[in-house]
Amino acid sequence: MQRSRLDHKWAGYAVAALSVGVLTLLLKVVGTHVNATTVSLALLLNVLFIATRWGSVPALAASILAMLCFNFFFLPPFGTFTIAAADNWIALLAFLLTAVTAGQLSASAKKRAEEAETGRREIERLYAELRDAFGRASHAEALRQSEKLKSALLDAVTHDLRTPLTSIKASITTLLDEVRGRITGEPPVALDAESRVEMMEVIDEESDRLSRFINGLIELARIEAGELQLRRRWGVVEEIISAALTRAEPITREHRIELDVENELPGVRVDERAVSEVVYTLIDNAAKYSAKGSTIRITARRAGDESIQMGVEDEGPGIPSELRERVFDKFFRATRDGDIPHHQPTGTGMGLAIAKGIVEAHEGTIWIESGRNGKGTRVMFTLPIGDEDVVDEKQYTSATVETR
């Protein structure tokens, strides 16, 4: 730290000289009413002040000066430096001792204060350093965690991209081999028409699977970026379900579908296509993970004044309660990652994550419970009905467009 100008030794001498001079003058003007003791105490205080402020050396100078002034102006015989009485020597000694002692005391006090200050600053520095290090460490840890997560996600994604690609590559090279063999007259590859069709079917299906997966990725990315654009308008629950059922028809042919929709359900202000997507995903899962011929039950009813509750239930093996949260994580597949035995093609691991994103964007909730009698899986979700006063202009525009 830089010392201020007043802290300088020379300033101490100057103040010492000046203050003693001014004090002497003042006491002299007040005159004879002041006795020698008062004068000596006043001067002593002055020396004390100099000592605490500037240390013992300027104080010593002040004390000598004060002693001289005291002697010259206030001790008889006045106007001389002669000291008549012995006790005046004692006064002089007192001046000197006070100066030195106070100076030392103040110096050591100052030193201690400085040491304490340095210590405090050191602790502060260490603390800041520690905090920085800690911050850096936790930042690094967070980064590491997020890197780990990223690489796990990348693993999942590459696996899901590579699996269909492997089947496509194997199919196409099998077909290619046969064609090439025919051209070059190589040893014949016995690939009958049926096998050829099968290979092409695999290519077709696996391309669709890749495409579905990529669409899912895009949708998930949108949801995660908070860019899911809901086109809310007043819709009818029955229509939403029926749209999903129509779409799911090819995958539910071998299941029994049971509909249980409460009478006179109110309209809901939602993005119908998005909600229909949710219902479709749930039906798709139900069909995928339950036996042929079993029943898939779709329900919709009011839940309180402000929301409706929908659900899709299957008679499959069910999801253990400890996995019921995790199945909503993206790329998590209970059959692959959760030790549930299966012999079925699995999904993309994104359906439920997307469904959750859509439901939550509507301020609803989605969860999983056991089906009837504690068997199977029941996925439930709620949707707020919406403010009845809201009239969506879009509804009219699209209505006019649609009634061509």
Partner 1 sequence: MTDQPRILVVDDEPQLTRVLRTGLKSRGYDVRAAADGLAGFEAFNDWHPDLVITDLAMPNVDGLELCRRLRAISQVPIIVLSAKGEEKTKVEALDLGADDFVTKPFGIDELLARVRASLRRAKAPPINEATATVLDSGDFHVDLESREITVRGKPIHLTPKEFDLLVYFIKHSGKVLTHRTLLAALWGGNYVEQNEYLRVFVGNLRKKIEPDAATPRYILTEPWIGYRFDSGQN
In the complex, least distance from residue 337 CB atom to partner 1, rounded to whole angstroms: 9
Name the DSSP letter for residue 363. Answer: T
Q: Chain-centre distance of CA 74, in angstroms?
A: 78
The one-letter amino acid at 205: E
Pick 67 or 287: Cβ nearer partner 1: 287
Quickly count: other Cβ atoms within 10 Å of residue 99's Cβ: 27
Pick 233 or 333: Cβ nearer partner 1: 333
Q: Chain-centre distance of CA 293, in angstroms?
A: 48
Q: Which structure tokens are listed for 154? A: 């990348």
329-368 positions binding partner 1, by CB under 8 A: 335-336, 339, 341-343, 345
Pick 197 or 259: Cβ nearer partner 1: 197
Pick 175 or 257: Cβ nearer partner 1: 175
The one-letter amino acid at 258: E
Pick 169 or 256: Cβ nearer partner 1: 169
Name the DSSP letter for residue 255. Answer: S
The one-letter amino acid at 152: A
In the complex, least distance from residue 211 CB atom to partner 1, rounded to whole angstroms: 15
In the complex, least distance from residue 249 CB atom to partner 1, rounded to whole angstroms: 22
In the complex, least distance from residue 126 CB atom to partner 1, rounded to whole angstroms: 42
Stretch that binds partner 1, among 50-58, 90-98, 183-191, 393-401 (CB under 8 A): 183-191
In the complex, least distance from residue 198 CB atom to partner 1, rounded to whole angstroms: 6
Pick 206 or 284: Cβ nearer partner 1: 206
CA-closest candidate to residue 237, choices 307, 157, 335: 307
Instruction: Give yes or no for a contact between 36 and 74, defined as CB atoms under 8 angstroms apart.
Output: yes
In the complex, least distance from residue 345 CB atom to partner 1, rounded to whole angstroms: 6
Site string for partner 1, 149-178 (x = CB under 8 A): ------x--xx--xxxxxxxxxx-xx--xx
184-213 positions binding partner 1, by CB under 8 A: 189-191, 195, 198-199, 202, 205-206
Residues near partner 1 (CB under 8 A), total: 33
Instruction: Give yes or no for a contact between 30 and 75, defined as CB atoms under 8 angstroms apart.
Output: no
Where does residue 232 fall: left (phi above 0), alpha (psi -120 to 50 degrees), or beta otherwise?
beta
Q: Which structure tokens are listed for 353? A: 């994550």
Question: What is the Cα–Cα distance from 46 to 141, expressed in whole angstroms?
Answer: 63
Pick 165 or 380: Cβ nearer partner 1: 165
Q: Does 36 bind partner 1 (CB under 8 A)?
A: no
Q: Give the position of tokens 């030790």.
A: 339
**Alpha-carbon distance values, 377 to 288, 314, 316, 322 (Å):** 12, 5, 7, 13
Give the footprint of partner 1 on this chain (CB under 8 A).
Answer: 155, 158-159, 162-171, 173-174, 177-178, 189-191, 195, 198-199, 202, 205-206, 335-336, 339, 341-343, 345
